[in-house]
Amino acid sequence: MKVPEPGLTRRGLLKSSAAAAAAFVPTSLAQSPPTSGTLKGRLKQSVCRWCYGKMPLEDLCRGAKEIGLKSVELLSENEWSVPSTFGLTCAVANGPTTIPRGFNRVEHHDEFVKESQRLLPLVKQAGIPNMIVFSGNRDGQDDREGIRNCVAGLKRIAPLAEQLGVTIVMELLNSKVDHKDYQCDRTAWGVEVVQGVGSPRFKLLYDIYHMQIMEGDVIRTIRDNLGHIGHFHTGGVPGRAEIDESQELNYRAICQAIAEGGFEGYVGQEFIPKRDPLTSLRQAAGVCDV
């Protein structure tokens, strides 16, 4: 994929409602953590590069390292080596699909399998633990057919992922607000794909922002399905806002539930900063540092 240009939204980068809040608590308790000092690190935190498109990648890596994050993610192939120069990793590499065009169409499988076979050894060589993929849009397709097609395509690349020790993660996105018609838009649908593929190297990327919009009941859903989840993304609801008192989710309680479940992957901060970007990122990291 091409290097993102400054100011691109995630939809541009990857081109290619009601929901109940997870918890309501006084903002003074939920969203007011210390904003400086070393993170405890019970959860490994990452940051999504596309949210900071106006900032040079090197500056974002430098700031993330100072805050105590472990990764800068959603990087394209020519960017993978940059975080390592700052003692960080890239937790998730961009994969062969785009949001609207993914594994739910059999006619795309040969293309995506070929590109995955090229990318996965390079992802392993770069020390990256995960590669992202998408289901694609429905375009009138029945959900059962979409599951069958995703399973069939992903089974073709799962053995290589197992051999290399790289996890393929399919992201759950909302189809109400941001990604109209996207098929992998509910946890239960994604879990069926995971179970159908039947590989320890294929899991879900559970985007908390997106699933709050689609389903709510975030903490219970995470607890019930943690074994099927390989990565998390954050984001304030509504509007993929900052992780502060302006949004409805109690991220401290959510991250506490993730940590208590023994999750060993990464939690990627994926919100749009409205203030000084690194100030916002530091606050979010503090909220989620349980």
Instruction: Quote the pLDDT of residue 28.
Output: 34
* Tens digit of each residue's pLDDT (9 = 90 or more) over 151-197: 999 999 999 999 999 999 999 999 999 999 999 999 999 999 999 99
pTM of the predicted protein model: 0.88
Residue 58 has pLDDT above 90, yes or no: yes
Residue 99 has pLDDT above 90, yes or no: yes
* Tens digit of each residue's pLDDT (9 = 90 or more) over 77-89: 999 999 999 999 9
Q: Is residue 3 part of a domain?
A: no
Q: Is residue 4 part of a domain?
A: no
Q: Is residue 5 part of a domain?
A: no
State the average pLDDT over residues 134-150: 98
Q: Is residue 228 part of a domain?
A: yes
52 and 277 Cβ atoms separated by less than 8 Å: yes
* pLDDT confidence bin for 10, thresholds 50/70/90: low
The angle, 0 to 180 degrees and rounded to 10, between the axes of the packed helices 143-155 and 109-125 is 50
Which residue, among 234, 251, 237, 168, has the nearest Cα to 20 in the 3D structure? 237
Q: Is residue 219 part of a domain?
A: yes
* Tens digit of each residue's pLDDT (9 = 90 or more) over 211-247: 999 999 999 999 999 999 999 999 999 999 999 988 9
* Tens digit of each residue's pLDDT (9 = 90 or more) over 254-280: 999 999 999 999 999 999 999 999 999
Name the percent of the chain lying above pLDDT 70.
87
Residue 1 has pLDDT above 70, yes or no: no
Its domain, for residue 46, covers 10-288
Q: Is residue 1 part of a domain?
A: no
Residue 7 has pLDDT above 70, yes or no: no
Rounded Cα gap, residues 239 and 188, in angstroms? 24
Q: Which helix (H) or strand (E) holds 15?
A: none
CB atoms within 10 A of CB 261: 14
State the average pLDDT over residues 112-118: 98
| Counted domains in the chain | 1
Residue 12 has pLDDT above 60, yes or no: no
State the average pLDDT over residues 111-140: 98
Token pair 């984001």 is found at 235
Q: Is residue 117 part of a domain?
A: yes
Query: Which of 7-11, 90-94, 179-183 bottoms out in mean pLDDT, i.e. has the lowest?
Result: 7-11
Instruction: Quote the pLDDT of residue 38.
Output: 77
Residue 19 has pLDDT above 80, yes or no: no
Instruction: Quote the pLDDT of residue 41.
Output: 87
CATH number for the domain that contains residue 20: 3.20.20.150
Residue 185: alpha-carbon gap to chain centroid: 13
Distances (CA, A) of 220 to 38, 237, 257, 261: 30, 18, 9, 11
Q: Is residue 2 part of a domain?
A: no
Contacts of 215 by beta carbon, 8 Å cutoff, 6+ apart: 19, 186, 187, 221
